[in-house]
Every structure is written in structure tokens, then in C-alpha cells.
Amino acid sequence: MNTKTKDDSNKTDYDYIIIGSGFGGSVSALRLAEKGYKVLVIEKGKWYSKDDFPKTNWNLKRWLWLPTLRLHGIMKITFLKHIGIISGVGVGGGSLVYANTLPKPKPAFYKTGSWAKLEDWETQLNPYYEKAWKMLGADFNPYFEYGDQILKKLAEKQNRVEYFEPTRVAVFFGEADKTVDDPYFDGKGPERTGCNNCGACMTGCPHNAKNSLDKNYLHLAQKLGVEIIAEKEVVDVSPLGKEDGSDGYKVSFQGATSFFKKQEQLTAKGVIFAGGVLGTVKLLLKLSMKSLPNLSKMVGNDIRTNNESLIFSVSSDKDKDFTKGIAIGSIYHADENTHLEPVRYGRGSGFWRVGIIPTVSKGGFFKRIGEMLGKIIKEPIRYFKLYTVKEFSKQSIVLLFMQHLDSTLSFKRGLFGMKSKLSSGVKPAASIPLANKLAEEYAGFTNGRSFVLLTETLLNVPSTAHILGGSVMGKDISEGVIDNDHNVFGYKNMMIIDGSTISANPGVNPALTITALAERAMDKLKENKF
């Protein structure tokens, strides 16, 4: 590959360079290639095949992304002042580590936030949700295993069993462990193997059953000539010629996994930012200071956490097995704003046990510590047994609580990267009373107790697996970073297509919505016009 920068702005290396290979970047890569564009995708993470994934999350080298410690896995944990964030890294982005779940948001999502008056979003996105489900091989989970059965009991106890249902997931069920020719794209896709319900979806599917993006969008894009560079991190994007980017852009990048950070450059007529909130927003905040000064001042604003709680429910029952099933097999709609999902890990993946402590209610530091210690002192033997269970993943499940209710932050540049600040919205809460109540009722069916990450109890910092916003839509540059077709205000042939563009709180897992928005944005783009 020629990485020499060209001075002739009328002749660039590529038509489009896409920064990031998650849901937005993968969709963009395929659809641009279909429209005749020459495309390059740059991804800071590694390529992972089914044999490369860690067998358990104790294999930190392959599970965690922490390059300074030579850990180049598929999951990144980021702690800021007001939020702890779990995200995905690698070719395929969050699809490598997410729980496969593809729910459609409720109507409230389309009528709130900065995008609400720009389009009739529910009507606009309906056909693209269908398209996304088809591309991602979505199917309803046919198996209710132990963790799902307990959730159903909770729904029955609350007289809402009709609001309990299977998840629609990006998994090839087929016949367990049986490999077949591509079942989705008329033979153009890779072989698939039937899911065997091992529960290891979130440490990277080891059986080739998970429909991650490298099995669909990226696979098909490569067949059309799209190039993918892995283990490279983009550090600068600057216009060639005219400052509005109409002459194209120079994209500078360096090694993301190597000690030596030699910088390289390539040029393109257009650029798509698709690195998610932690990639795109961080980069845009940096670029707004020098290379891209015309960016909206809204960059980094309207950050949303999906109003989540991640609560570990640990059971004393040794004869039960939470690991059997897919990562998330069911969902319970506890009320019109609230959704609860049981999330499992596969056998042996007990890493989280080192960082959890009992849940507490709201209050100051000393009140929280007192409540935590009080629980342990009241039942010392029970908590000792729960902390020392032999097979943590077998006897535990994570309850993912999500709400449509808005809670917002803003991200700004800090001395060591990004920092979070409170916005004019509601502060994300580390302890949500309804989440705690549901978790206690769930644990009541399993002879268990509830735990959260220690950062929540000790520091009152909530956690989320679905960080959203920061590059939201608006009617103009004063209200948003992009327009309703994902074009960046202030620049030509520049788009943002990832979770940072989500402009309201979906209240459910956002992967489907990101994919649908990306499909819509690409549908609006004309055939190769360069």
C-alpha cells in the first residue's frame, strides 16, 4: 500500500476513509463500495477469528484493551469522573464483545432530544430496522435457560408476564456445533456454525455462531474491494486545500499496538468518523482546537448513558448454572420506561468477581460505606460464601437495567484525554432505586445477593455499556454537530456515523438503531460523485 501523501488534492488515495469498524463504520464501508467508491477502513484494534478469542475473561491479554500494559483484547474499560464505560475494540468494533441483542426502541425515543423535530424518525427508520435485522441475521432466541426462567418468574410475580419476551439476536442458531455454508447472503458470506448455548458471546464467540460485523457487512465489503487496516489509530484529519474540506482530507495515523508510533498519512476526498463516543468524540475535541476549527461547539455535549445499572446477582445455589444460553436471551419490560435483561458469561469467566461489592442505596460516601459494611456484618457467612464461590460465572448473572429517562453529561478535553462534566440535564445515578428493587426480587428466587462494581458503591460513579451522544443531530451548527443526514456542519464530504450521533435516549441496547441510522445515511448518499 502506498502511504505517501499526495499534494495533488484532485487525486487522492481513496474516495472515503472510514475511522472505526463498528456498526456505523461497517455499514458505511459496504454501502459506499456498492455505490462505486474506493474505501479504506482504519481500526485501532486487532483482527480476531473464532480461535483467537480468549477462552475466559481471565485471559486479560486477549480480553482487555489496555495497550500501555500490552493488553490488546476486545473490551475496553474507561473510568471518568462521572461514569465508567465498557466498550468494544477490534475489527468489527462492539459487535465482537456485545451481547448480540437487537431491540427496537419504544416510541418515546423518536420524540425527544435534539433530533426530535428534524424528521418523523419512527417512520423514517422502520424500513432500515428491517434491513438491519436481515443483514445481522437477527432471530428470536428459542431457548429460555435458568437466568431467563428466573426473569420470567419475576415478571409473573409482578403480574406482568405478558411483558416478558425472548430477545431478537444476531446469532445463527441452526443445529448446535454443525457448520454449514453461508445461510444469509446466497453463498457470498462465510460459513456459519450453529450456536451451542455456551454463554461465551461477550468474550468473543469461539464457535462461529455470533453474527459479528466481520461475518456480514465487513466480509461483503472486502469482497467489493474495501481495504481494512487494523492496529492503527487516527491522530489527525486536516483539509487539503480549501478549509471546508471540499478538496479532500489528509488522514494521519500511527500504530495502536506497537511501541514505535511512526506516523503515516493517506488522503481521501471524504472522511467518515465511526469510532464510537470514546473514539470519535475524543478525536473531534482534539481536532476542533487546530485541524478542524469550524466544528460545532456542540462536540462532546448531550452524552447519554442509557440510564443504566449493571447489577451482579450472585447465587448460593451450586446446582444451578447461569452460563447456559446466549449472552442475553430474554427481556422484561418492567414499565413503559424500564427494561431488564439477564446477561451471562461462559464457564470460567469469573474476572468480575475481583471488582464487585454489595449494592447500596443513594447517599454520601460514609452512608454508602456504612450500608455496605452493615450488609456484610449482618450476614458474614453468606457473603463469604458468595465471594468465594468456586465457579463465579456459573453462579452469577449480570442484570442490565435500562431506562428511556434522560441523564446527560458533556465530555471535554483534559490533561490526560477526555474528562466528564455535568450538563444541564440530570446527573447519571450510580444507584437507581427501581433497579435495586428488581435485582433484590430477582435474587430472592435464586438464594442470592446483589453486587455492583466497586466504583459505584465507593465513588458513586455509575457504569454503562452503552455510552451515546456527543456528536448529536441539530437543525444547525448551534444545536448539533451533524445534520439529519449525518453530514458534519462546517465541512464538505465529512460524516459521523456511530453511537455518538444518537440524539436521544433509546433505553434499550443501541446496536440496531446505530445500524439502521447508518443504513439510512448511506441510502441518502448518491452513487460515486467524485
Residue 31's domain is classified under what CATH number? 3.50.50.60
Q: Supply the pLDDT for residue 260.
A: 82
Q: Which helix (H) or strand (E) segment is 510 a member of?
A: none
Per the domain annotation, does 50 fall within a domain?
A: yes
Per the domain annotation, does 243 fall within a domain?
A: yes
Q: Supply the pLDDT for residue 425.
A: 61
User: Which single residue is written with the C-alpha cell 427496537?
Assistant: 104
Per the domain annotation, does 110 fall within a domain?
A: yes
Most distant CA pair in the chain: distance in Å?
74
Indicate the number of domains in the chain: 1
* Mean pLDDT by groups of 10 residues along the chain of 530 residues: 46 97 98 97 96 96 94 95 93 96 94 94 97 98 96 98 98 97 96 97 96 98 98 98 96 93 95 97 96 97 90 94 97 94 97 94 89 95 94 96 82 85 74 94 96 92 93 97 98 98 94 98 88
Q: Supply the pLDDT for residue 126.
A: 97
Per the domain annotation, does 340 fall within a domain?
A: yes
What's the Cα-to-Cα distance from 95 to each of 89, 443, 467, rounded to whole Å?
9, 29, 15
Q: Supply the pLDDT for residue 4.
A: 42
Q: Supply the pLDDT for residue 334.
A: 95
What pTM does this model have? 0.95
Per the domain annotation, does 529 fall within a domain?
A: no
User: Which single residue is written with the C-alpha cell 506516523?
Assistant: 263
**Residue 344 is part of which domain span?**
14-524
Q: How many helices (H) and strands (E) does the chain have?
A: 12, 26
Per the domain annotation, does 499 fall within a domain?
A: yes
Per the domain annotation, does 160 fall within a domain?
A: yes
Q: Which residues are catalytic?
A: 466
Per the domain annotation, does 4 fall within a domain?
A: no
Quote the CA–CA distance of 494 and 288 in Å, as a whole number. Answer: 14
